């Protein structure tokens, strides 16, 4: 008889010992029975052990799938860094299939892409550095560099993964990749049907599919010879998983590329501060079409001011299209001064505070500091702090009233729920069947709008005034991404409604995103990532008193640790969710090992740990 320790997939349990008559290998996927559970559980063989002193149960079945050594190593890292069990970490991977070695057909792709001199330099830089950040302005042709690099890797008989935010995996992108890589490429994201996913997996197993373009889960597909990972729009926050294991696919790609000496390209027009700080970058500025883009500002606090309505109506009169952008889909509230456009900052954290409890108070969600809404603005001593609310549905209604003869459509997650709907709205828009598209972040991602001559940006101040140290980075990056959607071919206008014109104008017109990043790095030094690590411990339970006691207990415990700082604790921004009361502790440390050790010691069924949390 053989004895094995196994990790139960999707379970927080630590290893359990089972026996088996068969000789099994490390990484084999098996079925085991578990006390108190009706159905058999998926599990993975982790280690062969001596016969234990206690009696074990026999493994029920060995499945024809296995996790290879690399998968187990990466999962081990995930379980340590993102604080979860190995079984939970392994559950994000799709295992290999045990089968006869498939005959590798050699590939010969020819994209026929000719790179410009600038692109060629960027391409060589990425090749030389092996792991590089392609910090490339919108329209400077980074996709050609990706395709050229993928082509090179695939022609060597190796595999590649191109990660993109799910909403950027557009039909246009798919067509572009299929034109070069034919049946060797497949698209992978949450809306792909189970049946199609199985077909894709079969294609990966038999070697037909050599390239996957997909959302973050594509990183865990079973490629035998992965040599290249590209993370497009690397600044995008959707790379972070918000359920266990709470990994960040971008950070993990960097870890994997370094550990296994793979090629990695992180690409963005608005590089994230973390990558800018950590990874050697190439700045690609020159754009193909010198688009004439005029940026206007509107400082009124009326959502659709006369100035904005005027611009829209002029654009429509010339048979051109308009996109109207809002940062969130639901109604979203934020505080802002009527006169200077600044918000009230927390004196301890240098971030904007958020409105709390029926708007009677301002609260910092980092440290818990709370104060009354001041009578006059602390910055200019002139204006008044008031609440603003913006929402896509409201704007859509108003535009329909203002332009009854025009077609206005909404483009957000409430409206666009399926792939088919997305395709049909985009098609209608590009065929001029829609005049105005009102939408959220979805609008700013990778779609080509041929006939858009005006982009209206509303509510960007709500992003800038968010209770987060990342608020400036988020607001500016978002604005640059949206501005890039207007007038891709020919002339384009952008009108930005903001009371913080100075900030946006400076970085859009006079200076550069690189200068912005350097300034932000100075601001964050000693306080925020990438210089220190931050984690959030979230406690949730239906019993509000019990959960507060649990948090208090851990606050006390964590405060005794001299290597980590309890930045703050208290009720979460959303205090009650799904009938559970929520409290959180925010931790900071420049000592990563000490922080992780402390996090691993948190042993509460109410607690969820979020390392590198997206504040």
Contacts with Zn ion by CB under 5 A lie at 337, 339-340, 346, 348-349, 364, 366-367, 369, 377, 379-380, 383
CA dist 136 and 156 (Å) reads: 27
Task: Give the closest residue to 228 by CA, choosing from 176, 171, 153, 123.
Answer: 153
Strand 436-439's sheet: what is its strand order? 293-298, 492-497, 452-457, 321-325, 436-439, 408-411
At residue 123, φ and ψ (nearest 5 deg) are -60, -45
Tell me how far, at minimum, the Cβ of 565 lies from Zn ion, in Å: 13
Tell me how far, at minimum, the Cβ of 557 lies from Zn ion, in Å: 22
Residue 236 exposure: Cα atoms within 13 Å on the Cβ side: 25
Q: What does the block give as tokens for 609? A: 């740990």
Q: Give whole-number Cα distances, 252 to 74, 246, 281, in Å.
A: 9, 11, 18
Kind of pairing, strands 533-541 and 607-611?
Answer: antiparallel
Taking the least distance from each CB to Zn ion, the nearer of 60 and 339 is: 339
Residue 98 exposure: Cα atoms within 13 Å on the Cβ side: 12
Tell me how far, at minimum, the Cβ of 569 lies from Zn ion, in Å: 12
Taking the least distance from each CB to Zn ion, the nearer of 230 and 353 is: 353
CA dist 354 and 362 (Å) reads: 5
Tell me how far, at minimum, the Cβ of 606 lies from Zn ion, in Å: 24
Taking the least distance from each CB to Zn ion, the nearer of 384 and 420 is: 384
Taking the least distance from each CB to Zn ion, the nearer of 133 and 364 is: 364
Tell me how far, at minimum, the Cβ of 369 lies from Zn ion, in Å: 5
Contact between 265 and 132 under an 8 Å Cβ cutoff? The reply is: yes
Taking the least distance from each CB to Zn ion, the nearer of 32 and 385 is: 385
Q: What does the block give as tokens for 223? A: 């490629």
Taking the least distance from each CB to Zn ion, the nearer of 173 and 367 is: 367
Taking the least distance from each CB to Zn ion, the nearer of 24 and 535 is: 535
Tell me how far, at minimum, the Cβ of 341 lies from Zn ion, in Å: 7
Taking the least distance from each CB to Zn ion, the nearer of 145 and 377 is: 377
Residue pointed to by tokens 């994201």: 189
Tell me how far, at minimum, the Cβ of 572 lies from Zn ion, in Å: 15
Taking the least distance from each CB to Zn ion, the nearer of 361 and 402 is: 361
Q: What does the block give as tokens for 78? A: 């995930």
Tell me how far, at minimum, the Cβ of 578 lies from Zn ion, in Å: 27
Contact between 498 and 299 under an 8 Å Cβ cutoff? The reply is: yes
CA dist 220 and 231 (Å) reads: 14
CA dist 45 and 29 (Å) reads: 7
Task: Give the closest residue to 298 by CA, choosing from 507, 506, 501.
Answer: 501
Taking the least distance from each CB to Zn ion, the nearer of 346 and 496 is: 346
Q: Which residues contact 68 (CB under 8 A, 6 or more apart)?
A: 27, 96, 222
Q: Which residues contact 225 (CB under 8 A, 6 or more apart)?
A: 157, 158, 159
Would you list the DSSP string of 524-568? Answer: HTTTSTTSSEEEEEEEEES-HHHHHHHHHHHHHHHHT-TTSEEEE
Tell me how far, at minimum, the Cβ of 503 lies from Zn ion, in Å: 14
Tell me how far, at minimum, the Cβ of 510 lies from Zn ion, in Å: 23
């Amino acid at each position: 008889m053989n004895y094995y320790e196994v990790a139960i997939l999707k379970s927080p349990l630590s290893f359990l010992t089972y026996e088996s008559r068969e000789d099994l290998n490390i990484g084999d996927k098996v079925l085991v029975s578990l006390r108190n559970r009706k159905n058999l559980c998926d599990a993975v063989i982790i280690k062969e052990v001596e016969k234990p002193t206690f009696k074990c149960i026999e493994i029920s079945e060995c499945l024809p799938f296995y996790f290879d050594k690399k998968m187990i190593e990466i999962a081990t890292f995930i379980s340590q860094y993102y604080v979860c069990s190995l079984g939970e970490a392994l559950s994000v991977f799709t295992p290999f299939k045990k089968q006869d070695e498939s005959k590798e057909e050699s590939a010969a792709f020819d994209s026929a892409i000719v790179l410009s001199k600038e692109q060629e330099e960027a391409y060589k830089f990425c090749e030389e550095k092996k792991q590089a950040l392609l910090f490339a302005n919108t329209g400077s042709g980074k996709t050609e560099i990706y395709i050229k690099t993928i082509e090179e890797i695939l022609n060597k008989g190796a595999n590649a993964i191109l990660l993109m935010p799910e909403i950027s995996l557009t039909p246009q992108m798919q067509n572009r990749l299929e034109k070069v890589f034919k049946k060797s490429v497949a698209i992978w994201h949450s809306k792909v049907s189970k049946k199609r996913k199985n077909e894709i997996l079969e294609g990966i197993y038999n070697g037909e599919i050599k390239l996957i373009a997909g959302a973050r889960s594509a990183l865990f597909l079973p490629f035998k010879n992965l040599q290249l990972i590209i993370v497009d729009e690397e600044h995008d926050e959707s790379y972070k998983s918000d359920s266990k294991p709470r990994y960040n696919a971008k950070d993990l790609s960097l870890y994997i590329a370094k550990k296994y000496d793979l090629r990695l390209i992180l690409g963005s027009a608005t590089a994230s501060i973390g990558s800018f700080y950590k990874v050697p970058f190439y700045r690609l500025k020159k754009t193909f079409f010198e688009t004439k883009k005029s940026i206007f500002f509107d400082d009124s606090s009326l959502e659709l001011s006369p100035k904005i309505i005027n611009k829209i109506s002029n654009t429509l009169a010339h048979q051109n299209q308009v996109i109207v952008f809002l940062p969130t889909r639901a109604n979203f509230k934020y505080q802002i001064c009527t006169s200077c456009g600044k918000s009230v900052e927390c004196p301890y954290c240098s971030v904007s505070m958020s409105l709390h409890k029926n708007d009677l108070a301002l609260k910092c969600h980092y440290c818990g500091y709370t104060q009354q809404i001041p009578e006059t603005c602390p910055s200019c001593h002139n204006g008044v702090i008031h609440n603003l609310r913006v929402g896509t549905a409201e704007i859509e209604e108003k535009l329909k009233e203002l332009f009854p003869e025009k077609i206005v459509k909404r483009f957000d997650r409430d409206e666009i729920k399926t792939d088919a709907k997305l395709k049909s709205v985009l098609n209608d828009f590009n065929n001029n069947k829609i005049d105005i598209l009102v939408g959220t972040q979805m609008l700013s991602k990778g779609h080509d709008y041929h006939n858009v001559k005006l982009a209206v940006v509303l509510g960007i101040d709500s992003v800038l005034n968010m209770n987060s140290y990342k608020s400036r980075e988020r607001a500016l990056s978002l604005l640059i991404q949206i501005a890039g959607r207007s007038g891709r071919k020919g002339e384009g206008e952008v009108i930005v409604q903001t009371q913080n014109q100075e900030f946006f104008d400076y970085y859009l017109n006079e200076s550069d995103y690189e200068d912005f990043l350097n300034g932000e790095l100075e601001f964050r030094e000693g306080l925020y990532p990438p210089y220190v690590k931050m984690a959030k411990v979230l406690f949730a339970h239906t019993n509000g008193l019990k959960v507060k006691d649990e948090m208090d207990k851990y606050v006390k415990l964590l405060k005794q640790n001299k290597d980590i700082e309890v930045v703050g604790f208290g009720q979460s921004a959303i205090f009650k969710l799904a009938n559970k009361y929520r409290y959180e502790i925010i931790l900071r440390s420049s000592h990563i090992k000490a922080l992780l050790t402390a996090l691993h010691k948190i042993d509460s069924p109410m607690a969820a740990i979020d390392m590198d949390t997206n504040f």
